[in-house]
Amino acid sequence: MKEIRKNKSEVIRIQLKEYKEHKLIDIRVWYEDENGEYKPTKKGISFNRNLSINIANAITEVLND
């Protein structure tokens, strides 16, 4: 798992998950609750890990435009 600080109370977590025997990349915003525990929000995306190279390349292209 990788974690990127978004702001004071939120982080973006990038992690490998499994759903119905499919391995997925999950990129999701997590927030810190009043007890200091992080919980997932609905803000995020999960996709087949085979798409990860294409997505990473597309992000790089957008950044270079």
pLDDT in tens, 24-40: 999 999 999 999 999 99
In this predicted structure, what is the pLDDT of residue 25? 96
Angle ∠(27,45,33) on CA atoms, nearest 5: 60
Give the pLDDT of residue 18: 93
8 Å CB contact between 58 and 64: no
* Sequential pLDDT tens for the chain (65 residues): 999 999 999 999 999 999 999 999 999 999 999 999 999 999 999 999 889 999 999 999 999 98
pTM for the full predicted model: 0.83
Sheet holding 38-48, edge to edge: 2-5, 10-19, 22-32, 38-48
